[in-house]
Amino acid sequence: MPIHKEEPCVFPENLLDEPGENPAFEPGERHWWVVYTKSRQEKSLARELLKYQIPFYLPQIKNTAIVKGRRRTSFMPLFTGYVFMLADEAERVRGLTTNRISRILSVDDAEQLTSDLRQIKRLIESNAPLTIERRIAPGQRVRIKQGALMGMEGTVLVRRGETRLLVCVNFLQQGASIEVQDYLLERLD
């Protein structure tokens, strides 16, 4: 039994659909906000946003550990302290009334953030082992040219002799990486 059960991570389900397929986003009404929560309040905030029907995305990953000889599974936020909210001004204020938010950052490039979040969601859905990456340094931009993650773009990292594809949320300067064979990659530059 999971310690921290998996909870809704995206509302509505089609929030991160391709452009033109997303009725939640109507230009001029809602825009993206990056919400920095108080300590360990990401899931609680997501539950409250769901209750108020405010669109959000909270990327979560499965974490399995053995504690005292027992396997424990929990679902933890990929980006500790962050929830991505698509809201108008009234919904933003409603979110602030939850008393779970430390600060809210406005997003200037909504298209870039949405694209980054789509890729992160796709990485999580692949169920491949992810490594959380912080303070991303610039590197070679690539695209996966075949396989289950074909078309995904990111930056190449080499860590402990492994070639990894880094997919990042540029606004946060954080991301996640996955081991990938270099023959599957093609340069974008």
Q: What is the 3-state secondary structure (H, E, C) of the chain?
A: CCCCCCCCCEECCCCCCCCCCCCCCCCCCCEEEEEEECCCCHHHHHHHHHHCCCCEECCEEEEEEEECCEEEEEEEECCCCEEEEEECHHHHHHHHCCCCEEEEEECCCHHHHHHHHHHHHHHHHCCCCCEEEECCCCCCEEEECCCCCCCCEEEEEEECCEEEEEEEECCCCEEEEEECCHHHEEECC
Note whether 36 and 92 are same-domain residues.
yes
Clarify whether residues 97 and 37 are in a common domain: yes
Do 52 and 93 belong together in one domain?
Answer: yes
CATH number at residue 75: 3.30.70.940
Residue 55: inside a domain, yes or no? yes
pLDDT at 189: 66
In a domain, residue 4? The reply is no
Q: Do residues 102 and 43 both lie within one domain? A: yes
Provide the residue range defining the domain that includes 157. 131-187
- What pLDDT does residue 114 have? 94
Residue with the two structure tokens 């991301």: 175
| pLDDT computed for residue 5 by the predictor | 62
| pLDDT of the residue at 134 | 66
User: Per-10-residue mean pLDDT for the chain, 189 residues long?
Assistant: 69 85 62 95 96 96 86 90 96 96 95 95 91 68 88 88 88 92 80
Cβ-based neighbour number of residue 8 at 10 Å? 15
Residues 141 and 91 in one domain: no
Q: Is residue 22 part of a domain?
A: no
Q: How much is the pLDDT for 135?
A: 60
For residue 16, tell me if it sits in a domain: no
Residue 88 sits in the same domain as residue 157: no
Same domain, 52 and 99: yes
What's the CATH number where 141 sits? 2.30.30.30
Note whether residue 76 is domain-resident: yes
- pLDDT, position 49: 97
